Amino acid sequence: MKMRWLAPILAFALVLFTLGSVEAQSSSKVYRFKRLDSDVSVQPNGDLQIVETQEYQYVQGSFTFGFRDIPTARLDRITNIGVSDDTRKYQPTDSTGIPFSFTTFTTDNGDLEIRWFYPATRNTSKTFNVAYTVVGGLRYYPDGDQLYWKPVFPTHYVTLESSRVTVHLPGTIAPSQLKVEAYTKGSPNGSVSKQIVNGNTVQFAANNIPDGDDVEVRVQFPHGIVSGTKPSWQAQADLVDQVK
């Protein structure tokens, strides 16, 4: 049986990033995925406030929507969803296809999908911000509470040129009290740079990530810095991870 800290990570760990992109690339649609950055702020109550920035360069064809699928097996719920681009905030709606709007729904496999729409766009660059709050997404242990986060989802269709992740922690923490790691497909990945900036900030970076590869980051910090208790999914998740 492996130690908790060394156990490989499953695809359903709090990762939240399984699938998300603009329309899939095809012979008639060509684009570059320039940047996928994530800002993760751990709140004193244990919630996670997340802002994801996706930047695309449209090379060929017309594009009208983007989407983001979030697995929900290892979190309690998602709230405060918002989408914007460089010019405006998108409005929530129950309809689809309305420019400058977004909608949410549950997929057949239980993921939450956020889908946003914009006027037909070609031969330019476009940046989107997807924001939301995760409730019940941390793991709690006596020897240190843990954040799992997958800033790079495996299905991004083209090479992702750049990804930067910044994790913000509350309270007063000495850098020596933090443990950080990065994984690709469940295994430690030394090509992902890791930096403990200070006791409240950790940064990760990776470049030129092929389609099919993901990146997951993990940050452990002292128990008691944030409030909250073990979420309902944690016991089963620990059992699964310990036998991997």
Per-residue pLDDT tens digits of the chain, which is 244 residues long: 333 443 333 333 333 333 456 666 666 899 999 999 999 999 999 999 999 999 999 999 999 999 988 888 899 999 999 999 999 999 999 988 999 999 999 999 888 999 999 999 999 999 999 999 999 999 999 999 999 888 888 878 899 999 999 999 999 999 999 999 999 876 777 789 999 999 999 999 999 999 989 898 999 999 999 999 999 999 988 888 775 5
Q: Phi and psi dihedrals of 162, rounded to 5?
A: -155, 140
The domain spans of the chain are: 4-242
**In whole angstroms, what is the distance from residue 101 CA to residue 99 CA?**
6
CATH architecture of 4-242: Sandwich (2.60)
179 vs 107: CA distance, rounded Å: 34
Distances (CA, A) of 31 to 56, 59, 69, 86, 243: 7, 5, 20, 18, 40
Report the 10 Å Cβ neighbour count for 64.
14
